[in-house]
Amino acid sequence: MKAKNLIAKADIDPVKLEIPEEHKDKDIRFTVTVKLPDEGWYYTADHIAVLSQRPTAVYMGEDAPLNCLIGNGQELIGKRFLLTSHFELVRSGSEEDTPSTVEYTLTFYADDVELNTSKRVKGPALQVNFRTDIIFA
Amino acid sequence: MRALLFTCAALLLIADAQAQSPDFSYESLKLNSSPAYIMLGVDPVNISRPGSPSDFIGGVQSAVVNNQLQPNFALETTPYYWKNPAEREARLIRAYDYIVADGNDVWDNIRKSFTISLATSTSDTFTFGQMKKGTGYGIGIHFILFSGRTNTRTREILETKFKLAPKRSVYQFLISKLELNGTINIDEELGNWSKSIQQHIAEKEKVSNYSYPIEVDAVVKEVRAKIDKKVLTGDADKALLEEERNKVDAESAKLLKKLNSAKVPLSKEGFMLEAAIGNSGVAENNEWNMISNAKTGIWLTPSFRINTRQKLQNISYLDIMGVIRYMWNRAEVDSANYIDLGARLQFTHNRISVSSEYIARWLSHRPESVPGNYTWRFDVSFDYKINDLVTFKATFGSNFDGNSLHYSDPSKMFAIGGLNFGLGNLFR
């Protein structure tokens, strides 16, 4: 069963992501996909994911996280997960001065089973931020 | 009687499923000098500067070859983008690609640009000699060995911008940790950030944007000098961190504005080198059991791009290109093999591109019945980009005169006119 999809609204306040009982013994992972719909625009990126009670980052880097492990489902219950993604757009080839929007898709998996997919679109702006604040339940 | 190899191609229809070129958008629509087209002898342009690879690009065109309308179809695909869908990888600006390797990592260039080219066309007796008429096919591969260098101005701006990346990262990390925990020990969290970023750098296959060109320890020291507290707690301290992060963002915004004042700042310039191998054959009488190999070719295309713009808002380039090619022919196609040596000069200013090419072809040996062992191709091309999706193209000139079985001087004119249409969005 898919979790109720409130993650697209997780920019400000934390939302719950329920891990169904049958998936609680599985590894919870996440993937981010970034797309610029307009041609001739490129970007730099900065993604940081942190988890409560874990000292180091779950993920840090310029590449969009791909199938990145957060932890075992059972152990994540009650923990808070915060993912921030920052994009800066560079024009190269576009005739338009208005930057492309940024389409940001975040998917959570329990092993290979999709738990939740949310899609957000922001911009047009040269600097765009996405914030996802989740409490696993 | 000598026939025209090309007269009037009515329409060029090109579809690209995710062009990756940070250049003028019409460059990504070119399928002109695909190895498969060249092997079939229906190439609108023989020499062109290598474009950035795409996961898929296809095109149909109609050409008149040997006085007959000859529709043909070609497609190209780059396997690298099958594994790495274009939207994940291709538009991310990496320090490695634009500063560290900057086009000189040969194996990385080959891996990313290795492209398979396929084309089909009705065959004619000039291109394929004594082989019976039927359906011709061309297959080929091409890959970039050297992919050009980043413009000096762009490079300087990107270097400054990449220096800001770890600074932003550290402030954002501290903000996130403060949000999660309510209170943080700054030395402890700076240590956690250092471990996280060093782990990221160690895991990266190529040099990370964070590790170039700045040292992680230097960033930690800088942050420690600015935040004169041991423990951070509450909204006031969060606001302090956000202020520092916003300062970094403001500095980066200035650099973005500077970078974006040019139209194609990410376009590569300088020396590029592409290699290609192609093969063609004919299904004589359009029969499956009469498919025969006809020609095989191997060639190198060196090119050099000079940025000639006077104003940042302009796109202005002078491209000098060359080709050296050897083509083996089956005896029924031609008793001789071909050695091609050519050059092309192209000037591009905003929407207009004018170019001319000359290619000399020598026969490896001259049969007694043939007056000479030398022929040539010359053409002048004009491109006008009507908008991001449509480009008008016209080419006039003289083509190679067939082969040693039908040799005469290449004195007749050919003309190709058409429109290129980008249909990439239909595939997304």
Task: Kindly provide the ipTM of the predicted complex, given to two decimals.
Answer: 0.94
Question: How many Cβ atoms are within 10 Å of A19's Cβ, its own excluded?
Answer: 23
Q: B133 pLDDT band (50/70/90 cuts)?
A: confident
Give the residues of chain A that fall short of pLDDT 70: 1-10
Per mean pLDDT, which range of A99-113, B114-128, B189-203 is the poorest? B114-128
Between B419 and B352, residue with greater pLDDT: B352
Crossing angle of helices B216-226/B186-203, nearest 10°?
A: 160
Task: Give this prediction's pTM.
Answer: 0.80
Between B299 and B397, residue with greater pLDDT: B299
Distance CA B89, CA B52 (A): 14
Chain A contact for B94 (CB, 8 A cutoff): yes
Contact between A44 and B91 using a beta-carbon 8 Å cutoff = no
Chain A: residue nearest B211 by CA? A61
Between A77 and B111, residue with greater pLDDT: A77
> Which range is most confident: A9-13, B1-5, B113-117?
B113-117
Question: Which residues of chain A lie closer than 8 angstroms to B197, CB-CB?
Answer: 60
Mean pLDDT, range B155-164, rounded to an integer:
91
Give me the pLDDT at residue B33, please.
65
Nearest to A48 among B172, B181, B188 (CB): B172
Between B51 and B405, residue with greater pLDDT: B51
The dihedral through the CA atoms of B62, B65, B68, B73 has a sign that is negative
Distance CA A131, CA A8 (A): 10
Between A102 and B395, residue with greater pLDDT: A102
**pLDDT by residue (tens digit) across B203-230?**
776 666 665 555 788 889 999 999 888 9
Q: B417 pLDDT band (50/70/90 cuts)?
A: low
Q: B305 pLDDT band (50/70/90 cuts)?
A: very high
Contact between B265 and A90 using a beta-carbon 8 Å cutoff = yes
Measured between CA atoms, how close is B206 to chain A, in angstroms? 12
Query: B394: which 2 tokens?
Result: 């016209």
Q: Are B71 and B62 in contact (CB under 8 A)?
A: yes
Residue B19 reports pLDDT greater than 80 = no
Chain B contact for A57 (CB, 8 A cutoff): yes
Distance CA B181, CA A11 (A): 18
What is the DSSP secondary-structure string of B267-308?
A: -EEEEEEEEEEEEEEEEETT-GGGEEEEEEEEEEEEEEEEE-
